[in-house]
Structure 1
Amino acid sequence: MAEGIFQERAGEVREDIVEENINQLVAQGILRIEIGFRNELKVVEPYLKICRLKLQQGELIDWFLGSDSNLPESSRIVLVQYHGETIRTSLNDDPIRSLFVYCTRYSQGLVPYEYWEEGIPNDHWASIRSAFHTFNFLRVLEFHNLKVKSLPEEIGDMINLRYLGLKNSALDEIPESIGNLINLQTLDIRWPRCPRVLPSGVLNLAQLRHLMLPRNGIKVPSGIGILTNLQSLINLFIRPGIIQELRSLTQLKKLKLIDVSEEHGSELCACIMKMTGLVSLSLETRGFENDELLPTLESYSPPPSFRKLRLYGRLMDLPNWVCSMENLTKLILGYSFLSEEAISVLRFLPNLKHLTPWEACKVKVMNKEFCRVGGLPKLEALVIANQNLLEWTEIEEGALPSLAFLHFHCCSQLRILPEGLQYVTTLKVLNMFPLHPDLKRRLSRDGGKENYKIKHIPLLGSFGSFG
């Protein structure tokens, strides 16, 4: 969207048009959705081969180079893979439209990028900084895993910039001149070691559509309600008066709030009721492993567009409106301390595709009530985290007819996989981290008595081989 490679249509939301284009590519078999923790889009053969050929010919991305090379004198999209060397440039006023600089996990000396905990040395990318004033046409700028320590004030001169990504940086502050980026649509500063204060200049970014904040409790300037074009607001910490400001952001499609408590319930409910196009909502308490209760928003009536819900914090019971959401496709419940009965009613959600009960239920035994025939007909990914879980007793034959990805995380005591797992023929991936020694022995390919339950699954992963 930032590079402007899609056709806008009057009266339609840009993000909706882009999603429609992607769905068309999936339907045509050019892209494939890979089911997992986070679904990923992959280019499939023979289109992948064609793309690689065009890449080599400079038709899609003009240059792909290591950081020990000079940047090209003329290119439209530039990717720099950083290995730990000094980045050199050879830039002029040619119209570079997109610049991506990202750090691989290891440098050439096999030093993890975490080695630069305090940030990349200035001399390693000084030439990039000095070249900022030449990026007159730049629309997209992303530093990923680079642990950039500072941005020059000159970044404010890049007035054509639409996307600025600084994920996993080491920034101490963001310059006030960022407020000059009048065309900026996306500001992504997620991940640790980010500035504690967002400059007030952000409030000048009238075109901003996506604001992704770090989880460090960054202080957001008062008046954020002026950014009425926002479609996404991620990792906003609740502070006095902030919910009132959110009332103006009626265009929001994705909202993630942190440090929410039960006392915010009625005000928050009235606020999000105004967001009639909301697609994704995440509510998280502070220190969600303690006894802090999440608000249940009992009077909330989700709009038809609502698809994804994440609730991290203690719940006395599932809110009634959750079980009535026929269009819900993704549900994550964390540290909810719910009963098995409360979890089992989720099977009546007809379009749920991804379910993650993350320490949401502390039972030692999962029974077949969780997944009877007819329940969860479209579930594709199931991620279970439960340190207390010892056994999953049974899956009825014909249950979970769409399940492709099953992951057990921190289920270190789990000793028995369910009878009937062998009938879930759609299952492509089974991960168990860690794998209990007793269960490993019974599932072993070499004479394991319960190997029949998993032998049809193509991809098996664990801390410790299945054998």
Structure 2
Amino acid sequence: MIQLKWSDSFLMHNLVHDLAQYIAQDECFCMMDNKFDTKKLQKIRHLSVSIEDPHLLKHLETITDQQLKLMRTLFIRVQDKSRGRPFITRQDKNFGVLDDLFQNLKYIRALHLSQIGIRELPDTLGNLKLLNYLSIKDIAIKSIPESIHKLYNLQTLDLTQTNISELPRQIDNLINLRHLLLSHKVAFLPSGIGNLTNLQTLTHFNVGCGKKHCDIGELNSLMKLGGHISIYNVALLHRSIATMPVNKFSNTKPTLKTKKYLDSLRLDWLREHDNFDRFKQDEKKAEQQLAYLQPHVNLKFLEINNYPGVRFVEWVSDSSFTKLTRLILEDCKNCTKLPPLGQLRYLEYLDIRGMDGVQHVGREFCSMLMASPSSSQNKMAFPSLTHLEFSSMPNWKGWDGVEIGDFPSLHFIEISNCSKLIKFPQWPFMSSVKEMTLGNCGALDVLNLHLWTNLSIGIKTQEHSKWMSKCYFPTLQHLTLKSRVECVHLSQKRLPSLKTLEIQSSEELRVIGGLEGLTSLTSLIIRNCFNLEFEKLPATLQQLRLSNCPLFHKGLEKQPHMLNVLREGEKREREELIEFERRYPIIKDWSDAEQDNINRITWMSDHKDDKEYNGSKTARFLPSRRDSYLTNMDFAANFFIQLNKRQNLIPTVWKPEYHTFSKHYSAPKAKPYGFGVQNRPHYRTAPLRKVSSIS
């Protein structure tokens, strides 16, 4: 079985798109721009309706009963840009339109409803007895009708983008359900989920202790469960096990250890947006809960949030997890020591944040065993790790215990908001590291930083500035600075190989000392440095880019020979824009406002993103932010949606080659064309490829 990563996406050539349209023209049709022509629906089996106003749903009444009987796929999407529009209620005429529609779609197999602005769906939804795929993408919807339990053939139920807080009581009747995709807002899961023995995907599970709430022990019967699952309210787990009545599902056996198809797991002791500071729990119980939720060794991705224990249980760092490649530990504020994660020999990505109780990281982080000259294994901690991040650890003061041979594959390390960190492993520690980001850290006690080629650093105090001026970077070629001090001094002696210097978002910065002496510098990029004064530039400079630097630009005008360098930088920017337009030719027709928005997109080949200025929480879940094309994920999604509208590429039909859908029909999947944005690892419901777009 071929599985795609959650971030995988594809673009389709226009010629392939046109060919697919031509071949499918008798069976597939897309109504757009509020143009309804029922004459074209005589033999249509797969219909997409895209309108700008939900009140235009009334046009669906013109579709005849005979045409509805032929229909197998229906995709309804409202692209209403107005805000504050009234929601459709039971008294609204459009509610009756949907009610009648569901009564006549007797042979429909796939139904997708997106942003139609309705509070609840008609009870006639239960009439769609042959429905295999149901996707609802509308935050207005807060409940689904109880009649959904009649959809015995339903295989996929997608409620991820809704405000539904509880599922119908009789959902356990959906015995053919394979994929149940839920929002984190679903707080109530009714008892009986264990009856869904064909279930392969359950994205969210909220632990509860009510009599009618699903007991976590019911997961024991879901032997096909795989993909990703997020378990919230783990703090209630002990109470749940103790209070639930004994039945054929409820028992104290570990529920996840037998789930060999599960490859991604998130454990959160709180619910979304709960406050850790107000949360108190017995530390021993927390360890028991974590031990109970031990997953199968096939796990590839693990995230633990808001764990209240003081130490992690052994399975978190067990070397038997040979497929575990990504690990995130977040807001485990009571933990005083990090687990020996160096034993995870295939771990590639490690992100540790919000560990307030950690003051020192020593050899125990690399291995449980004490270092021994006769043991070569102890000298090879984190053999596969390539990406390492520490952030928001306010009490962390020192890091040691790293030996030669540890971290042999590490390429990128980031340390941010660790203001007390001073003690740092000395070179040749992590000799493979090429790129490092430092932000809001103490003045590290390491001065010789060999082999690094890329460094991004935030200078927030004069102490940081002095440390920077004393460091020796013999191989550093690309340096990115953000300064909150008035003066930063750079030296050719300390930076003998520097080729590219980028200074960004440094409003307090006034002077860059030693700039003229950087004789190896060929490219200088300065952005949003409003108070930076002009300094003489090195003669070797070949490219200069300025953005929102009025004082520096004014001084540059007095150096006519440097204006040519500035023009060269502007020429390079134009060339990049031309290349961008070549990739996406529709952009040339955009308005000035839309063109201005393009400037907010930063291509990773030239510029590393900055979490401090990136409002999206999504970015930290990427395999590597440096491997992503766009930095601002929220804007990127909006950008591609606009691009889709220009190219009329929405909606997209997915070929049902994956087990999510039936093999006898194509089902729609609402997703921005060519770009997927989610904040979790991939689900098993991801299709293999896009085969055509209907328009």
When normalised by structure 1's length, the TM-score is 0.68
Match of 2:535 in 1: none
Match of 1:334 in 2: 330
Determine the C-alpha separation between the residues in 2 that align with 1:278 and 1:53.
Answer: 39
Determine the C-alpha separation between the residues in 2 that align with 1:391 and 1:69.
Answer: 65
Match of 1:319 in 2: 313
The alignment yields a C-alpha RMSD, in angstroms, of 5.0
Cα displacement (A) at 1:119: 6.1
Match of 1:438 in 2: 484
Counting aligned pairs with the same residue, the percent is: 21
Name the SS of the counterpart of 1:131 in structure 2: helix
Cα displacement (A) at 1:288: 5.8
For structure 2, the 5+ residue unaligned runs are: 242-250, 368-378, 420-437, 456-480, 489-500, 505-511, 526-603, 615-630, 632-695
Determine the C-alpha separation between the residues in 2 that align with 1:65 and 1:280.
Answer: 38
Cα displacement (A) at 1:155: 1.2
Q: Indicate if the aligned counterparts of 1:160 and 1:183 stay in contact, CA closer than 8 A.
A: yes
Determine the C-alpha separation between the residues in 2 that align with 1:439 and 1:348.
Answer: 41
> Which structure is higher in RCO with an 8 Å CA cutoff and minimum separation 6?
2
Pair 317,364 (structure 1): closer, same or farther in 2 beyond 3 Å: closer
Q: Indicate if the aligned counterparts of 1:120 and 1:147 stay in contact, CA closer than 8 A.
A: no
Match of 1:100 in 2: 75
The yes-or-no answer on 1:57 pairing with 2:115 is no
Spell out, residue by residue over 1:330-388, the C-alpha distance to the aligned partner (whole angstroms, 9 max, x if none): 32323112668516x43443333444434245769999998999665655766765274
Determine the C-alpha separation between the residues in 1 that align with 2:415 and 2:53.
Answer: 35
Determine the C-alpha separation between the residues in 2 that align with 1:245 and 1:377.
Answer: 38
Cα displacement (A) at 1:224: 2.3
Determine the C-alpha separation between the residues in 1 that align with 2:186 and 2:135.
Answer: 19
Q: What is the one-letter code of the residue matched to 2:338?
A: A
Residue-pair matches, total = 412
Spell out, residue by residue over 1:134-166, the C-alpha distance to the aligned partner (whole angstroms, 9 max, x if none): 333322222234443121122112122112122
Determine the C-alpha separation between the residues in 1 that align with 2:130 and 2:68.
Answer: 14
The yes-or-no answer on 1:257 pairing with 2:231 is yes
Q: What is the one-letter code of the residue matched to 2:323?
A: N
Name the SS of the counterpart of 1:166 in structure 2: strand
Pair 138,277 (structure 1): closer, same or farther in 2 beyond 3 Å: same
When normalised by structure 2's length, the TM-score is 0.48
Rg comparison, structure with higher value:
2
Determine the C-alpha separation between the residues in 1 that align with 2:148 and 2:366.
Answer: 51
Match of 2:34 in 1: 68
Pair 116,189 (structure 1): closer, same or farther in 2 beyond 3 Å: farther
For structure 1, the 5+ residue unaligned runs are: 1-16, 24-32, 34-38, 426-434
Determine the C-alpha separation between the residues in 1 that align with 2:71 and 2:450.
Answer: 56
Match of 1:282 in 2: 266
Match of 2:192 in 1: 223
Match of 1:3 in 2: none
The yes-or-no answer on 1:346 pairing with 2:341 is yes
Determine the C-alpha separation between the residues in 2 that align with 1:130 and 1:405.
Answer: 58
Q: Indicate if the aligned counterparts of 1:397 and 1:423 stay in contact, CA closer than 8 A.
A: no
Name the SS of the counterpart of 2:224 in structure 1: coil
Q: Indicate if the aligned counterparts of 1:180 and 1:201 stay in contact, CA closer than 8 A.
A: no
More deviation, 355-364/209-218: 355-364
Determine the C-alpha separation between the residues in 2 that align with 1:184 and 1:309.
Answer: 30
Work out which of the residue numbers 17, 20, 41 in structure 1 matches 2:8. 41
Q: Indicate if the aligned counterparts of 1:139 and 1:161 stay in contact, CA closer than 8 A.
A: yes
Q: What is the one-letter code of the residue matched to 1:54?
A: L
The yes-or-no answer on 1:139 pairing with 2:109 is yes
Q: Indicate if the aligned counterparts of 2:32 and 2:51 stay in contact, CA closer than 8 A.
A: yes
Pair 59,356 (structure 1): closer, same or farther in 2 beyond 3 Å: farther
Spell out, residue by residue over 1:197-241, the C-alpha distance to the aligned partner (whole angstroms, 9 max, x if none): 422331210001222333335433322221111222233222236
Pair 363,126 (structure 1): closer, same or farther in 2 beyond 3 Å: farther
Q: Indicate if the aligned counterparts of 1:416 and 1:439 stay in contact, CA closer than 8 A.
A: no
Q: Indicate if the aligned counterparts of 2:134 and 2:156 stay in contact, CA closer than 8 A.
A: yes
The yes-or-no answer on 1:386 pairing with 2:411 is no
Work out which of the residue numbers 251, 254, 262 in structure 2 matches 1:270. 254
Pair 269,59 (structure 1): closer, same or farther in 2 beyond 3 Å: same
The yes-or-no answer on 1:163 pairing with 2:133 is yes
